[in-house]
Amino acid sequence: MKKRFIAITFLLLITFGMIACGKNEVSKEENINETNQEQATGSQETTEEQQENPNKCGNTEEQDQAQIEYINIAPEEVRIPILMYHSISDEDPSNNLLVPPAMFEEQMAWLEANNFTAMNLDEALEAMETGKVPKRPVVITFDDGYADNYSSAFPSLKNHNLKATFFIITDGVDNGYYMSSDNLKEMQAAGMSIENHTANHLELNGLSKEDAYDSIKRAQDYLRNVIGSDGNYLCYPVGKYNDETIAIEEELGIKAAVTTQGGIASINDGIHTLKRVRISPMSIDSFASIFSEYIN
Ligand SMILES: [Zn+2]
């Protein structure tokens, strides 16, 4: 019994030591100017940040968990960037929805090097409701479920210990163009979240209540029955929704939903209409500028 007590005390000491292991204070909130994303700033912040904050605490998953430094603020002050990706591919450089794999890899390496905590939507929602939030929070999302998400994005996410959320058009699963059900199960087993982008990607505000209900519910059933996801989050196709859509979500137990409206997510916008930051091809300095309010 005494031995056990000593062992627990020792573990606690180690845990506190890890939590104390160095991170900078978050600067006071500055509003992100969305045009920052378009313009390279030429800042050297990234390299300096990496030199000042070498990862001294080691690399195992348990240690990474213990390293997360939280702040406690009022729930309405919590701001979490929810990144919105689509395809990760260099097939068509003229298409703004395609981020080249090398650029995506560079962005994920930047997030890891700068100690960002990638959260799933359960964690983000809890942070927005309680006010306990990692100092450098981010949610990484993908819309539509393109096959290249598995082949090109998943390896980078794993390399950099980042979790992400994939919003799937469930009627497209296993048709060859989108990710397969095996891909989705494998990613989920590796810590990724597989969520609802409706069964058929029809714009929900243009459908009858019955059809909108069917499109959301069929996808939710598929995710729960075939993939084993909790199926609690929704991404509106083309960002379109109305009051009826939100009533359906409440009926189906969908906890929160994301839009395509640009901005940093906050509970002030309503948990069924969370904003996201669209990621189009951009320089790493422009990518870094999205997170300027979290970095000194
Ligand atoms: Zn979509």
Spacing, Cα 282 to ligand 1 middle (Å): 21
- What integer is the mean pLDDT of 275-281? 97
Question: Confidence class of residue 65 from pLDDT cuts 50, 70 and 90?
Answer: low
Between residues 178 and 5, which one has the greater pLDDT? 178
Spacing, Cα 5 to ligand 1 middle (Å): 53
Question: Confidence class of residue 185 from pLDDT cuts 50, 70 and 90?
Answer: very high
Question: Confidence class of residue 93 from pLDDT cuts 50, 70 and 90?
Answer: confident
Spacing, Cα 169 to ligand 1 middle (Å): 8
pLDDT in tens, 40-57: 333 333 333 333 333 333
Spacing, Cα 98 to ligand 1 middle (Å): 13
- Write down the H helix ranges in 90-144: 101-113, 121-130
Q: What integer pLDDT is reported at residue 74 of this predicted model? A: 98
**Which residues fall inside 5 Å of ion ligand 1, going by CB?**
143-144
Average pLDDT over the chain, rounded to whole?
84
Residues 6+ apart with CB under 8 A from 252: 213, 216, 217, 220
Spacing, Cα 109 to ligand 1 middle (Å): 26
Spacing, Cα 258 to ligand 1 middle (Å): 11
- What integer is the mean pLDDT of 274-295? 97
- What integer is the mean pLDDT of 100-118? 98
Q: Which fold has domain 69-288?
A: TIM Barrel (3.20.20)
Spacing, Cα 215 to ligand 1 middle (Å): 13
Strands (E), the chain: 70-72, 82-85, 87-88, 98-99, 117-118, 132-134, 137-144, 165-168, 193-196, 233-235, 256-262, 274-278
- What integer is the mean pLDDT of 255-270? 98
Whether 168 shows a pLDDT value over 50: the answer reads yes
Q: Per-domain residue ranges for the chain?
A: 69-288
